[in-house]
Amino acid sequence: MIGWFKRLFKRRKVSIFEKRIGYEFRNQSYLEQALTHPSYLSGNNGYKNSSYERFEFLGDALLGFIVSDYLFKKYPQFNEGELTERRRILVSGKALSQIALKLRLQDYILFSHKDSYELVEDHQAILADAYEALIGAIYLDGGIESVIRFLERFHFVEEINLLESRDFVNFKGKLLEFLQSQGFSPPKYKLERVLGPDHRKYYLISAWSEGKFLGLGGGFSRKEAEQQAAERALKILLKEEK
């Protein structure tokens, strides 16, 4: 009786998710594997499925191809560099995690009890991985046309929001372009300090060109700190130019 109730509860939860994504799986094991975090396997020895890692590998390749095809057809006037920049944004981990949050993917991922979603620090990476795994699962279950319809409904409609978001501006690239246009050397980034505990390090990084300090940035990763340093440097340089 208890086993029957658990199966019924699980099926109702799956049905809600399928309605949310607009796709009903013929093979439910594909969906279950796409939503299984690696930690769940270690805590459930009798569990027969694998984690989402193999589906993530497949979904990553599919996403890259379909997004490239979409951009190539939509923007015949764009050159390779412009297409590459748009694709970078649309397939970035931050973009995938934002879309996954809108789908409430975190409510359906299977974790071990000691490694639940609330306790895992890097939520963005987990959501991005699970989103790619979901794409892989849809492909295996319904083919590439099903994946395209899913992306049209949830991914491509976010294109303008993603492109206009400050989160996706490549400030390092823009700073490099500006310096080169003025005849200066490419920027160099120097780690100034690392603050905070090992599990939550905060990096302070400065941007330089030809021995001149341009700006200081901070973030919980070197990449984030470099981006902020480049943004601040660019703001100062553009102000000086006026």
Q: Are 87 and 64 in contact (CB under 8 A)?
A: yes
- Helices then strands, counting H and E runs in the chain, come out as 11, 3
Is 141 among the catalytic positions?
no
Is 60 among the catalytic positions?
yes
H/E segment holding residue 2:
helix 2-21
Q: Are 152 and 158 in contact (CB under 8 A)?
A: no
How open is the CA angle 169-87-55, to the nearest 5 degrees?
Answer: 120
Q: Which residues of 14-51 are buried (b: 16+ CB within 10 A; e: fewer)?
A: beebeeebebebeeeebbbbbbbbebbeeeeeeeebeb
Active-site residue among 60, 129, 141, 226? 60
Active-site residue among 132, 141, 226, 231? 132
Q: Calculate the CA 177 to chain-centre distance.
A: 25
CA–CA distance, 40 with 159 (Å, rounded to integer): 33
User: What are 28's two structure tokens?
Assistant: 């439910």
Q: How many CB atoms lie within 10 A of CB 108?
A: 18
In angstroms, what CA-CA distances link 233 with 103, 219, 230?
37, 15, 5
Which amino acids are annotated catalytic? 60, 132
